[in-house]
Amino acid sequence: MPPQNPEQARWFSEEVQPWEAPLRSYLRRTLPSQADVDDTVQDCYMRILRAKESGKIRAAKPLLFAIARNAVHDFFTRRARVALIPMTDTEVLPVLEHDAGLVESICHEQELALLAEAIQSLPERCREVMLLRKVKGLSQRAIAELLGISENTVENHAIKGARRCADYLRAKGVGGSPLSHVAKR
């Protein structure tokens, strides 16, 4: 959606659009698909245009990349939320066989759900680091660059997050099997 105001359109084409290629490059390194990159670029453009409407912007590039970092954060925060599906129609549920593999599978799924709750209970920055490190598989250096913090801070958040998740799971009576592979990664 191009700006309606001619002055704003000029500002956008001169100050913002020249940074589209570096912006897309940054987003391709952090987001899982090209569609997510395209959507996030548009989101960034909308946010910077709103910022321009609300006041004077001294430099478009740093603001655009700060907006992009926030948009990536929002993207992963939305993805981290666990959708709960109510089970109301019990007639359509298949009859389960009583077999050890099935029981283990159900226990594992419950442990993973508890792990998702544990991660969701972490402080925001700690949760963000855990998701980027353990789910997205980014390196400490990449996370540090993405979030604008030191690698040491990333490592501290990862350690704190793993410990808090382990404590959460122990409090819920889970021995730590789902977290054991997460902490090693």
Say if domain 90-184 classifies as CATH 3.10.450.40: no
- Cα(100)–Cα(12) distance, integer angstroms: 62
- Cα(84)–Cα(71) distance, integer angstroms: 24
- Cα(13)–Cα(106) distance, integer angstroms: 55
What are the start and end residues of each CATH 1.10.1740 domain in the chain?
6-80
Q: What is the CA radius of gyration of the chain?
A: 21
Model confidence over 10-69: pLDDT tens digits?
A: 989 999 999 999 999 989 988 888 999 999 999 999 999 988 888 888 889 999 999 999
Q: Which amino acid is at 132?
A: L
Helix (H, G, I), strand (E, B) or coil at 148: coil
Whole-prediction pTM = 0.45
What are the start and end residues of each CATH 1.10.10.10 domain in the chain?
90-184
CATH of the structural domain 6-80, one choice from 3.90.226, 1.10.357, 3.30.1360, 1.10.1740: 1.10.1740
Give the number of C-alpha atoms closer than 13 A to the C-alpha of residue 27, restricted to the C-beta side. 27
